[in-house]
Amino acid sequence: MTTHNPDHAIMLGGKTAILDENGILEVGNSEEIITEDVLKKIYKTDIKLMYLEDIGRKICVAQNLDSI
């Protein structure tokens, strides 16, 4: 599956591959590779990963969307 939404990879778990703007590919366990630092670098905005107890998993929350 290919997606631009990190929540999809978080929900599915397993292995994730992230291709950055320089063509560098990183592959690893979703829990280990999808970090706030990686997401901030790729999407160039402040992104938080938060655990939402009601659904029992992490979610990706974009901050400061007006600065994009």
Every domain of the chain and the residues it spans: 6-67
Query: For residue 63, what pLDDT band results from cuts at 50, 70 and 90?
Result: confident
For every residue of 9-66, DSSP letters joined together read HHHH-SEEEEE-TTS-EEEEEHHHH--HHHHHHHHSS-EEEEEETTTTEEEEEE--GG
Query: Residue 68 pLDDT > 50, yes or no?
Result: no
Query: Residue 17 pLDDT > 80, yes or no?
Result: yes
pLDDT, average across residues 22-51? 93
As a whole number of angstroms, the distance between CA 41 and CA 43 comes to 6
Which pLDDT score is estimated for 65? 59
pLDDT, average across residues 36-58? 92
- Provide the b/e sequence for 5-24 (b: ≥16 CB within 10 Å): ebeebbeeeeebebeeeeee
What's the chain's Rg over C-alpha atoms?
12
